Amino acid sequence: MSALETKESILVVDDEDDIRELIRYNLSKDGYLVTCAASGEEGLGLVQSVKPDLIVLDLMLPGIDGLEVCRRLKGDAAYKSIPIVMVSARGEEPDVVSGLELGADDYIAKPFSPRLLLARIKSVLRRGKSGPVDQQALVRVEGLVLNPVRREVHVENVLTELTNTEFKLLHFLMRQPGVVFTRDQIVEGVHGDDYPVTDRSVDVQVVGLRKKLGDYGLYVETVRGVGYRFKG
């Protein structure tokens, strides 16, 4: 790697030595500049000095926990744009939902493979560089094509009839591939925050949408205990 190809800086905040070292080793091996912290307090201090391009943040930390770290960073204009990938133990879904609603960009559950973590980090960093999403642009994933101007969806060149809500739901997910959204975020993104609908109605809409999309319905992924994302 030449000097002109310097990778991004990543801050890893995790109190488990073996997990922290596993992440550090694999990210460094892939060329990233890695700084580690073993507590929320240390992590917040390092954010100021390191100014990382992305933060890998464990939710269960001694002292200031991961949610509070996320809350402070996303509430600070100087650091709110730094992407956060949360790391959680299985069974901490309510905290994951809270973290996403605070502005975290993605999450990965322990135990995880280094390869999966690297893929998530690359995806989040890539989204950050892509700039604002053009909501009128054609969205295409292989044989699935969504035209927001004509409000049409074609599956393998066949026009597929969707309800207005199904269309808006698919468009919302497709234009931000890989991003995990809670049900509340989907309701707000599709209908607005004053729409009188329960978050569980999202599940009903997803079931219907998947049936109409056929094999492409598999791209609408369920994130257990959290919500949904479009496979990115």
pLDDT digits (tens, 9 = 90+) for 31-71: 999 999 999 999 999 999 999 999 999 999 988 999 999 99
- Domain holding 71, by residue range, is 6-129
Residue carrying the six token digits 């502005």: 103
The pLDDT of residue 3: 43
* Number of compact structural domains in the chain: 2
Do 77 and 160 fall into the same domain? no
Residues near 132 by Cβ (< 8 Å), separated by ≥ 6? Answer: none
Q: What's residue 196's pLDDT?
A: 47
Same domain, 11 and 119: yes
For residue 1, pLDDT over 50 is answered with no
State how far the Cα of 177 lies from the Cα of 17, in Å rounded to an integer: 32
What average pLDDT does this structure show over 217-223?
A: 94
Please report whether residue 204 resides in a domain.
yes
Q: What is the CATH number of the domain that holds 40?
A: 3.40.50.2300
Asked if 124 and 182 sit in the same domain, the reply is no
Within a domain: residue 134?
no
DSSP 137: S
Same domain for 121 and 152? no
Residue 122 and residue 62 share a domain: yes
Whether residue 30 has pLDDT greater than 90: yes
Which CATH number covers residue 156?
1.10.10.10
**Long-range contacts from 161-170, C-beta under 8 angstroms, 24+ separation:** 161/212, 162/209, 162/212, 163/208, 165/190, 165/191, 165/205, 166/205, 166/208, 166/209, 166/212, 169/202, 169/205, 169/206, 169/209, 170/146, 170/209, 170/213, 170/220
Give the rounded percent of residues in the chain with a pLDDT score beyond 90: 57
The average pLDDT across 133-149 equals: 84
Distance (Å, rounded) from C-alpha 137 to C-alpha 143?
16
Positions of E strands within the chain: 9-13, 33-37, 54-58, 84-89, 106-110, 139-141, 144-147, 152-155, 158-160, 181-182, 220-223, 227-230
Average pLDDT over residues 159-172: 92
SS3 for 50-103, per residue? HCCCEEEEECCCCCCCHHHHHHHHHCCCCCCCCCEEEEEECCCHHHHHHHHHHC
Please check whether residue 22 lies inside any domain of the structure: yes
Q: In this predicted structure, what is the pLDDT of residue 58? A: 94
Whole-model pTM? 0.72
205 and 146 assigned to the same domain: yes
